[in-house]
Amino acid sequence: MHSPVLINKDILSTKNLNKQELLAILKAASCMEKLVTEKGVCPMLTDTLIAFLFLEPSTRTRLSFEAAAERLGAKTISVADAGSSSILKGESLSDMVKVVAGYADCIVLRQSAMGLAETVAGQIAIPLINAGDGHGQHPTQALLDLYTISKELGKLESLKIALVGDLKYGRTVHSLCYALLPFQPEFVFCAPKDLYMPSAITNDLKSKGVCITEVESLEQALQADVLYMTRIQKERFPDQKQYELLKGSFVLKKELVLQQNKDVLILHPLPRVDEIDTHVDELPRAAYFRQAHNGMYVRMALLAMVLGKDIPGL
């Protein structure tokens, strides 16, 4: 079936995606997973060129997008760090994106300024996918998080989701809150005092009827259906002394999970530093590596959908 819902659409924030679009993406990702499992590749973008502009470090997002494009048969061009581009000579991102839009059919962009992806997307005619804009949004991560929750728990509706760690600078949790919004979530926020969820997001969610509880311990956060751990975002701190004070605030241990709630689904966008002890990896519900793997299917779905391709099985 043709997937008209996202054709030529920019993917900038999960705030802009409605429930129908979210469910269509998850369905398309499931089709992509089936196709890759059965055939390895699904060459439906052979007439397409995709530009990857990664001006901030990335492993998962960049490589899963590139793997997605390769499996779809697309041609690609890429900038893997700002230092190898003319940004180093003082070129603006706006100029760079306008130039690249003349070469490609779709741009995937990661850069450090919150809101700038939306600004530059408005200046070009081809779709732009925000692959992380500073401490703003990371919508494709939230979509793969949704896909993972749905696969692991068999549902998305009415879940209690605990978000732990750096809720101030962590763009993945900002996007995940809005991606879950149409599914009647209950949120538990667990963060050091200086790294609370921005009040603009908390107030917005509350104004939409979402129940939010703020807790101070991992024991309390573990009483949820999903425990979403995050890294303290060292690179976003204006003062590294403050980072040193806050790092290690919450460290999840296997024994604590077994003692408090062995059934909790444990997610993390990765990379992790020290907030999940490696022994937690042994638990069957520790799903963060499966979560990263799912990113490729979700990004295959997004690329095919924004470029208006038919997805077999959809």
Beta strands in 9-159 (DSSP E): 49-54, 75-79, 106-111, 128-133
CB 273 within 8 A of CB 247: yes
Give least dist CB 184 to ligand CP, A: 26
231 vs 309, beta carbon nearer ligand CP: 231
Q: Is 141 in the site for ligand CP (CB under 6 A)?
A: yes
Nearer to ligand CP, 103 or 289 (CB): 289
Among 231, 269, 288, 307, binds ligand CP (CB under 6 A): 269
Per-residue b or e along 4-32, where b marks 16 or more CB atoms closer than 10 Å to that residue's CB: ebbeebbbbbbeebeeebbbbbbbbbbbb
* Residue of 71, 110, 171, 268 marked catalytic: 110
Report the alpha-carbon distance of residue 14 to residue 159 in Å, rounded: 18
Our answer to whether residue 151 is catalytic in this structure is no
Does residue 59 belong to the site contacting ligand CP (CB under 6 A)?
yes
Site membership for ligand CP, residue 230 (CB under 6 A): no
Of 35 and 252, the one with the shorter C-beta distance to ligand CP is 252
Tell me whether residue 137 or residue 141 sits nearer to ligand CP (CB atom). 141
Span interacting with ligand CP, options 59-67, 91-99, 157-165, 245-253, rule CB under 6 A: 59-67
**CB-nearer residue toward ligand CP: 59 or 203:** 59
Binding residues for ligand CP, total number by CB under 6 A: 9
Among 61, 111, 175, 294, binds ligand CP (CB under 6 A): 61
Q: For residue 270, state whether it binds ligand CP (rule: CB under 6 A).
A: yes
- Is 61 marked active-site? yes
Q: Please, which contacts does 23-28 make with residues 24 or more away whose CB atoms are closer than 8 Å?
A: 24/305, 25/143, 25/147, 25/298, 25/301, 25/302, 25/305, 26/143, 26/146, 26/147, 26/150, 27/314, 28/3, 28/301, 28/304, 28/305, 28/311, 28/314
Catalytic residue status for 89 = yes
Q: How far is the CB of 221 from ligand CP (least distance, A)?
A: 20
Q: How far is the CB of 1 from ligand CP (least distance, A)?
A: 30
Residue labelled with tokens 């990702």: 29
**Rounded alpha-carbon distances, angstroms, from residue 178 to 120, 173, 210, 275:** 22, 9, 11, 24
Residue number closest to ligand CP, CB atom: 61
Pick from 152, 74, 157, 158: nearest CA to 108:
74
Min dist. Cβ of residue 61 to ligand CP (A): 3
Asked about 138 being catalytic, the answer comes back as yes
Options 28, 52, 60, 237; binder of ligand CP; rule CB under 6 A? 60
Closest by Cα among 245, 178, 226 to 205 = 178
Over the window 120 to 139, marking each residue x when it contacts ligand CP by CB under 6 A and - when it does not, the resulting string is ------------x-------
Structure tokens that stand for 219 in this block? 């024991």
Active site positions, annotated = 60-61, 89, 110, 138
Return residues touching ligand CP (CB under 6 A): 58-61, 132, 141, 269-271
